[in-house]
């Protein structure tokens, strides 16, 4: 981790900064996702109760606070970004044919694909309906571009599903669209609400983007290294579903033809029967792929912290620094 002069805050101290506001965000989500169709309301509330770290609204709240804004619009847009994120989870589970999300039956398993897709669509539209009430074109422009990026990411992932020749650049482009740009938008929205100048908005956006890249690389590693109990879904699920993430991309560059064939069988058979999970994990360890991805994630974290130097000193700025310390070394 980079050395910085700003002293770190504990998780409890950071959470205390936005705890009350986050409760208001939760209340707004609960109120604003009530639909005249009972199934949509049930799905929305099921997802809200199923947990989740609320990283995206928390990032928006911290960024706005770091720029000197703590008004109600941050609550409303915090709800918007979380509803957009929730919509992507619903669609992801349908596309991935997932059975479990955060340790509980997935939405598509419980309500079926058709209802789930339409519920995800409704959540997207409701998020934009709420954002429109801010009457701020800068906010709408960001959210429209974000949604297009995320859909592009889904399409790219579908196109590359099952491919063992996905390159590092292709995968990082996917991470940019599916995860990092949302983090960037959350931080930029905080700056926009505060009326920050263009440079501070860009720096906060770059902070969020680098944080999001590191978060997703670490998340991909957890799919191999975490326990199923902590992860909330089966380990090794990404590869089983045909998603080749960065650690596997790096290992495939060095592995033998026989080792490559074992990975191919997992992807094509969507099972670890022919090549046990432990042996696939052994490949990543053999070629140092896990540690190399972890180092890459730490590079993104260093880039993230470098963006914060121009912000005025405050507990919110300290919190943004502290968040970077938890992204890579985590269990879930």
Q: What pLDDT tens digit does each residue of the chain (332 aa) get? A: 444 556 689 999 999 999 999 999 999 999 999 999 998 898 888 888 876 679 999 999 999 999 999 899 999 999 999 999 999 988 888 887 777 766 677 888 888 889 989 999 999 999 999 999 999 999 999 999 999 999 999 999 999 999 999 999 999 999 999 999 999 999 999 999 999 999 999 999 999 999 999 999 999 999 999 877 777 677 898 999 999 999 999 999 999 999 999 999 999 999 999 899 999 999 999 999 999 999 999 999 999 999 999 999 999 999 999 999 999 887 76
Q: What would the two tokens of residue 18 be? A: 């936005």
Beta bridge partners of 43: none
Residue 10 CB coordination number (10 Å): 9
Tell how far CA 291 is from the center of its chain.
21
Angle between helices 198-225 and 168-175 (to 10 degrees): 120
Burial class (CB in 10 A: 0-12, 13-18, 19+), 59: buried
- Report which DSSP code applies to 185: H
| Beta carbons of 203 and 308 less than 8 angstroms apart | yes
d(CA 223, CA 308): 30
CB neighbours of 330 closer than 8 A, spacing ≥ 6? 218, 222
Query: Tell me, what's the pLDDT at 126?
Result: 95
Torsion on CA atoms 57, 62, 68, 74, rounded to nearest 10: 10
Q: Nearest CA to 64 among 125, 114, 139?
A: 139
d(CA 110, CA 104): 10
Terminal C-alpha separation, the chain: 20
Residue whose token pair is 């800068």:
138
Angle between helices 246-254 and 168-175 (to 10 degrees): 180
Q: What would the two tokens of residue 303 be? A: 């880039």
| Beta carbons of 82 and 27 less than 8 angstroms apart | no
Q: Nearest CA to 247 among 294, 285, 178, 293?
A: 293
Helical ranges in 33-71 per DSSP H? 38-49, 55-66
Class of domain 11-327: mainly alpha
Tell how far CA 252 is from the center of its chain.
25
d(CA 47, CA 87): 10
Residue ranges with strand state E in 183-269: none
> pTM (2 decimals)?
0.93
| Beta carbons of 205 and 79 less than 8 angstroms apart | no
- Give the three-state DSSP class for 242: coil
Query: Tell me, what's the pLDDT at 11?
Result: 92
d(CA 290, CA 276): 18
Query: Tell me, what's the pLDDT at 81?
Result: 97
d(CA 137, CA 129): 13
Q: Nearest CA to 247 among 175, 317, 150?
A: 175
Query: Tell me, what's the pLDDT at 141?
Result: 95
Torsion on CA atoms 208, 164, 157, 236, rounded to nearest 10: -70
């Amino acid at each position: 981790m980079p050395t910085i002069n700003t002293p770190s805050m504990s998780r409890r101290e950071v959470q205390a900064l936005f705890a009350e506001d986050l409760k208001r965000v939760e209340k707004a989500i609960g109120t604003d996702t009530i639909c005249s169709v009972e199934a949509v309301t049930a799905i929305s509330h099921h997802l809200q109760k199923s947990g989740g770290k609320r990283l995206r609204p928390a990032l928006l709240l911290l960024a706005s606070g770091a720029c000197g804004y703590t008004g109600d619009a941050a609550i409303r847009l915090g709800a918007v970004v979380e509803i957009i994120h929730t919509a992507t989870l619903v669609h992801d589970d349908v596309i991935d044919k997932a059975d479990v999300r955060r340790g509980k039956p997935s939405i598509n398993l419980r309500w079926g694909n058709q209802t789930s897709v339409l519920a995800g669509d409704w959540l997207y539209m409701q998020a934009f309906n709420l954002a429109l009430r801010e009457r701020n074109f800068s906010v709408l422009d960001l959210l429209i571009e974000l949604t297009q990026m995320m859909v592009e990411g889904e399409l790219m992932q579908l196109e590359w599903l099952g491919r063992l020749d996905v390159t590092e650049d292709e995968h990082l482009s996917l991470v940019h669209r599916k995860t990092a740009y949302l983090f960037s938008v959350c931080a930029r929205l905080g700056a926009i609400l505060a009326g920050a100048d263009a440079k501070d908005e860009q720096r906060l956006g770059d902070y969020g983007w680098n944080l999001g890249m590191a978060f997703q690389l670490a998340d991909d590693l957890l799919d191999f290294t975490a326990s199923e109990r902590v992860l909330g879904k089966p380990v090794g699920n990404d590869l089983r579903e045909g998603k080749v993430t960065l650690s596997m991309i790096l290992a495939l560059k060095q592995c033998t033809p026989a080792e490559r064939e074992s990975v191919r069988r997992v992807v094509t058979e969507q099972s670890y029967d022919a090549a046990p999970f432990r042996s696939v994990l052994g490949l990543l360890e053999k070629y140092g792929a896990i540690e190399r991805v972890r180092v890459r994630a730490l590079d993104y974290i260093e880039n993230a912290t470098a963006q914060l130097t121009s912000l005025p000193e405050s507990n919110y700025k300290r919190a943004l620094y502290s968040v970077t310390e938890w992204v890579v070394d985590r269990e879930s």
